[in-house]
Amino acid sequence: MKVFQVTGLIFCFVISSLAFGQGTVIHEQFYSESLERTQDVNVYVPEDYEPDSTRILYPVIYLLHGGGVNYTYYSEIVAALDSLISIEIEPVIVVRPNGFYGPYSGMSWWSNSELNGQFEDYVVSDLVEFIESNYNASPERDKRCIMGHSMGGYGAMMIALKHTDIYCGVVSFSGVVHSTYTVQTYYIPDMLNEHGGSGPFSPDAGGYSTVIYSMAAAFSPNLDNPPYNLDLPVDDEGNIVDEVFDLWIHEDPAWLATQLDDEDSIAIYIDALDGEAFPIINRAFADTLDAYEIPYTMRVFPGRDHHRDLPQRYPASLTFLDSVMWASAEDKVSANPLELLNGYKLHSVYPNPFNPEFTVTVELPESAELLVHIFNINGRNIRTLVNGNYPAGTHHLTLNTGNLSSGIYFVQAEVQGKMNEIRKVILIR
């Protein structure tokens, strides 16, 4: 097996291995210098992987788990990999590290924190070095991607945007990819509700309070502020504390995207379920990407269960990353790999802002049943604007929203199983 020199890491050997279908999942433990403790990790290797041969160096995908769970979860991805490899995608190694740490349901947010530890450094440095020193893993940036779900979707996006020199592609499943928007729109109001409208606050008042405290432990730790050793981003009345919130802004993937240089390139894929709030959060993040002309792929899948409806989304995301890792550099920044797979596309919604009409431009590669819905800012479907069969081709559909009041809305174009895209629009009366 090819071995690369690793500095500052003490490695333990394989503890156990379990066979799942065609591939194998190996449980490892190794000492992380960044976290100053031993970490668990599960490693999937494909069928025919030869540990003692350097004939093939495999691409690697790092999968970060969500809050409240650990590295042993997301085992359903094994079946997806076994069914896709050699048919839809090239053989790949998939690494599931452990980010469960801290008193707030184990939500480390995969961030560097003097309270939780240096989880970002662990993922970017220690983990990559361990995998590339102990497995037949390609050391090339263009064969290295990262993905994650929920808290892990945040972590994957945050880490990828900070380290475009390490990763060539990133996937976020229902991730908090615009974290400050999510906190202001959802988490802070819900924490206030859990406390009867005002502070003083406690992490034990409810689920959203726990989330806010976990984020504060990650983004604004303060060892001089007992008993929790962190600073909240709001005062007891729910008003933003600017000097604290600024720290949170600088860990927000939406802000990090604005800091990318022209030479930085990374393929971005974000998805969500239509029965949760994440399509709106993804759209808010995508608005920043649009403003800075950063390419991305965004999908919405049917479903409501944050965890159980995840496996249906693995094939599209794994195919996306495969197309990225086996594409040329110019293809990665100029083409949308998912669009190339099926030819369905919501090109534009214009004018925007509008009053009261706008035009939706949709491309269909074949005859299809097209649905166009409009949602309010709370994610409620308030009107179906299009419901019919359209032939293959590019369609410019002028739609009237009737007597809707001024505000922010979201237009969704859907072809069942083929396309589900969202655009934010503003109605000004």
Tens-of-pLDDT digits for all 429 residues of the chain? Answer: 222 223 333 333 333 333 334 899 999 999 999 999 999 999 999 998 988 877 789 999 999 999 999 999 999 999 999 988 877 788 999 999 999 999 999 999 999 999 999 999 999 999 999 999 999 999 999 999 999 999 999 999 999 999 999 999 999 999 999 999 999 999 999 999 999 999 999 999 999 999 999 999 999 999 999 999 999 999 999 999 999 999 999 999 999 999 998 888 899 999 999 999 999 999 999 999 999 999 999 999 999 999 889 999 999 999 899 989 987 433 333 334 444 446 788 877 778 778 888 888 888 989 999 999 888 877 788 889 999 999 988 888 888 888 888 877 888 888 987 888 887 777 877
CA atoms within 13 A on the CB side of 5: 1
Q: Does 310 map to a domain?
A: yes
Beta strands 381-390; 368-375: pairing state: antiparallel
- Give the model's pLDDT for residue 18: 33
DSSP code for 404: P
Of 305, 324, 341, the domain-final residue? 341
Do residues 264 and 151 both lie within one domain?
yes
Which residues constitute the domain of residue 207? 181-249
Q: Does 389 map to a domain?
A: yes
Do residues 290 and 224 both lie within one domain?
no
State the Cα–Cα distance between residues 109 and 187, nearest whole angstrom: 15
User: How many structural domains comprise the chain?
Assistant: 3
Tell me the two tokens of residue 46.
Answer: 């494909």
Do residues 241 and 185 both lie within one domain?
yes
Q: Does 371 map to a domain?
A: yes
CATH number of the domain to which 111 belongs? 3.40.50.1820
Identify which of 425, 352, 377 has the alpha carbon closest to the alpha carbon of residue 281. Answer: 377
- Give the model's pLDDT for residue 8: 33
Q: Does 375 map to a domain?
A: yes
Q: Does 4 map to a domain?
A: no
Find the farthest-apart pair of alpha carbons in the chain and give their distance in angstroms, rounded: 69
Do residues 217 and 72 both lie within one domain?
no
State the Cα–Cα distance between residues 389 and 378, nearest whole angstrom: 29
Do residues 204 and 353 both lie within one domain?
no
Q: Does 1 map to a domain?
A: no
Q: Does 219 map to a domain?
A: yes
Do residues 217 and 163 both lie within one domain?
no
CA atoms within 13 A on the CB side of 313: 28
**Residue 149's beta-bridge partner residues?**
173
Q: What is the pTM of this model?
A: 0.73
Do residues 302 and 210 both lie within one domain?
no
- Give the model's pLDDT for residue 398: 87
**Residue 390's beta-bridge partner residues?**
368
State the Cα–Cα distance between residues 218 and 227, nearest whole angstrom: 16
